[in-house]
Structures are given as C-alpha cells and as structure tokens.
Amino acid sequence: MAFEKKRTNPDMEMMMAFRLLGCSVLAVMAASPVLAQELNALVWCDHADAALVAPFEEKFGVKVNLKEYEGTAAGMAILDQSQPGDWDVLVIDAVDVGRAVDAGKLAPMPADQLPTADFFPELVMAENNTRDGVTYAVTEKFGYNTIAYDKTKVDPADMADMATLTSGKYDGRIAIYDYYLPVLGLLAMGQGIATADITADNLAALREPLFALKKASKQVADVVAAQTALATGEVDIMVGGGEWVTAVLAADNPNLDWTIPKQGGLRWAQSIGIVAGTTQPDLALEFVKYIVSPEGQAKLATSACYWGMPANAKTGDVLTPEQKTVLRWDEQSEFLTRAQLYPIPDAALDTAMQDLWTEMLQQ
C-alpha cells in the first residue's frame, strides 16, 4: 500500500513545497521579457496619444512608457516616491519648473539644441524655464484658462464681463474647473489683483467671490468631467475653461466657444524637461527635441486629451487651416497681451489656497 512505505516528516514536506513555490516565483520574475530600450515619462494626459509617440518610437526603435498625472503636487509626490532612474522625462506646469529645480528633480539641458528661437517670444519663459543661465525645461504648449461657453445657450456679450457669472442669470448652468490655481487667479483678476500680487492677506478678498461662484455653479469638474458636462449640455459655461476644453469637441459640437473677458484671463503653459538621475539622458533629450519640433508640436497641439497652442511658432506651417482656426491662431498676439501667468505661491500660500478650495468644495 502506497501510504505504508515512508512516513516523511511533515515539516520537510512543507519546506519542499515552499522552496518549490519560491523557485517558480523567481523563475517567472526572471523570465519577464527584457524589452527594447524604454523611456519612462511622467506626463499630462495630452501626451498619452498614440499618434504623438508612435513616430518617435519608430524612429528610435524604443518604447515610451507614459504615466499621466494631474497637479504639480501629485507629480512631485510620484517623483519623491521613486528611485533615481525610474523616470526620464517630466512634463510640468511652466510656472512650477522652479519648484522642481529646487527639489532637484530636473537635469540641465543644452539650450543650443532647443529651437527656442522659433518660439512665440512670450512663450520662451526664460524666467521660469532657466535658473542661473542653465536651462532645465522648455515650454511645449500653452493656452488659456478663461471662460468657455455654449454660444447657442449663452449670450456671448455677457461673457465679456466676469461679473455676469454671479449675477444670477446663469445660476446652475456653470461648471468650475477643479484646479485652484487658475480659478483663484481669475477671481483675483476679477477683483483687480494681479496674479503675481496674490498674498495671504488679499486671499481673504477672494473668499466671497469664490463662494458666490460656487453657489451659482452646478459642479466643480476636472478635465474630462468638464468636457462631458459641456458636451452633454449639463452646463453651458465653464469657468477656467478655454480652447483646451472646447477645441477637442469642436468637430462634434461647434457651438462651444471661449473668450477672454475684459478683466483678463490666465495663460497656462506646460514645459517638458529631463528628470535628474535618468539612465538615458541622450534618449530623453531626443524625446524633448522631438516634442518641440514642428512635427511633434503639431501632434501635441491637437492631441486627444485637450488641444492647445504649440510653443513653437513654426508649427503654423504644419497645422491645417481648420486646426489653426479652432486654436484661434491669428488672435494669439492679442490674447497674449491680456492674459497673466498662474500664481506661483510659496508653500504657506499654497496651503492656504488649497484650504480655501477645500472649504469651497464643502459649501
């Protein structure tokens, strides 16, 4: 009888089983295929477009891994939690490049290899992208946070004045973009305070307008929820919206439009840089150069998540006339004069602004 033969020690059997399990686990892990060279990029959602990265991947025979994030603090948190060499390329708010440099996250780039001479002059943003003459990032895309609306449901003349938003005429028809920096910046401009001049003291002046706006609005929405709400007619106006909300929907819903009210609007800009500690600085630089080349810029400007103006003015030769109309290419010089940059708060003011935002959400 089989069972009579050897009475093995149960502990030995157990150990054997565990050793086997351990070996197979290690084998599986080791057998994970070693792929072609990979570039790891921490980016905004507009980079997660196959049409954008595919030409680069083909040209260099590499794979580009993309992780999307929203909000500089989230990106910084991801970088903090990573080891050196985990990431190669970073997309970040142009106004936050300094913060990333202070935190030692960005590596210097050779300025002579970047086509900044072809950029719109205001978008070179040397004060943000460089530090002591060393270039750490280069602007890649920009646009506006202002007022987007459905022109068949809303009187465009009303949208020229921010005060009509809280006048009661559009109660319940408004969505607020869920990012405290541009919205608070817009409200500050509505109160006559320049975004660069926001301090802890005059922040209190923004409380009432902010809460009044919340009261008049239907929801506070992130990028896609905002697009959804405008597209489905859930709301007619979006505070903090701009071409980045309306352009990508333009083909299906040509009623969406945007404008900069008389109080002014905010200019957002995103930069791209090489992460400090990257194991492949040359490939990362090539990726950056690709993104700021007219070809890459055209794809980035019209990418799936949201559209925006390319920093490289030469892109005008690559974009189609329809695309340029949607982006309001010819009106850019006027817009650029009337738009201010995002507020750049220090840590204390940042916390204060976020607390104000949380408080607003709970109204």
Partner 1 sequence: MTQAATERRVGWGLVAPALIWTVAFFVVPFAAMLALSFARMEGRAVVAAFDLGNYVRFFTEWPLFKALLNSLEITAVVTVVSVALAYPLAAIIAFRVPVRWQRLALLLAVLPFWTSYVVRSYSWLLVLGQNGVLNKTLLGVGLIAEPLEIAATRTATVIGFVHFFVMLLTLTIYANLVQLSPNYARAARDLGAGPVQVFRFVILPLTLPGVVTGAFVTFVLCMGDYITPQILGGNNELTLPQLIMLQLGRSGNFPLASALSVILMAVITLAYVLSARWLRLDRV
Partner 2 sequence: MKRLVWVYLCAAYAFIFLPVIVLVVFSFQDGRLPVPPFQGVSLQWYAKVLGDRDLMAALFNSALMAAVSSAVALTLGFLAAHGLARSVLPGSVWLRGLLIAPMTVSYLIIALGLLTVFNQTGVRLSLWTAGVGHVVINLPLCFAICYAAMGDHQKAAERAARDLGASEVQVLWLVSAPMLAPALLAAFFLSVTFSWDEFIIAFLLTRFEVTLPVEIWSMLRSGLSPATNAVGSLVFLVSVVAVVLAEVFVFRRRA
Which residues of this chain interact with partner 2, rule CB under 8 A? Answer: 1, 3-5, 7-8, 10, 13-14, 17, 40, 45, 48, 50, 65-68, 70, 81-83, 86, 222-224, 227-228, 231-232, 248-249, 251-253, 304-305
- Is residue 80 a contact residue for partner 1 (CB under 8 A)? yes
Selected from 25, 74, 194, 196, the binder of partner 1 by CB under 8 A is: 74
Residue 244's Cβ-side half-sphere holds a number of Cα atoms within 13 Å equal to 29
> Across-strand partners of 219?
175
- How many C-beta atoms surround the C-beta of residue 327 within 10 A? 23
**Residue (72 or 293) nearer to partner 2, CB:** 72
Choose one: 11-19, 55-63, 255-263, 321-329; the region binding partner 1 (CB under 8 A): 11-19
- Is residue 233 a contact residue for partner 1 (CB under 8 A)? yes
**Residue (14 or 54) nearer to partner 1, CB:** 14
Torsion over CA: 63, 69, 71, 72 (sign): negative
DSSP string, 229-254: HHHTTS-SEEEEE-HHHHGGGTTT-T
**Residue (20 or 204) nearer to partner 2, CB:** 20
Taking the C-alpha atoms of residue 324 and residue 182, their distance in angstroms, rounded to an integer, is 25
Per partner kind, with CB cut-offs from 5 to 8 A, the member of partner 2, partner 1, none near residue 34 is: none
**Residue (251 or 348) nearer to partner 2, CB:** 251
Site for partner 1 in 142-181 (CB under 8 A): 172, 178, 180
**Residue (20 or 117) nearer to partner 2, CB:** 20
Per partner kind, with CB cut-offs from 5 to 8 A, the member of partner 1, partner 2, none near residue 17 is: partner 2
Taking the C-alpha atoms of residue 255 and residue 257, their distance in angstroms, rounded to an integer, is 6
- How many C-beta atoms surround the C-beta of residue 127 within 10 A? 12
CA-closest candidate to residue 241, choices 218, 269, 221, 255 = 221
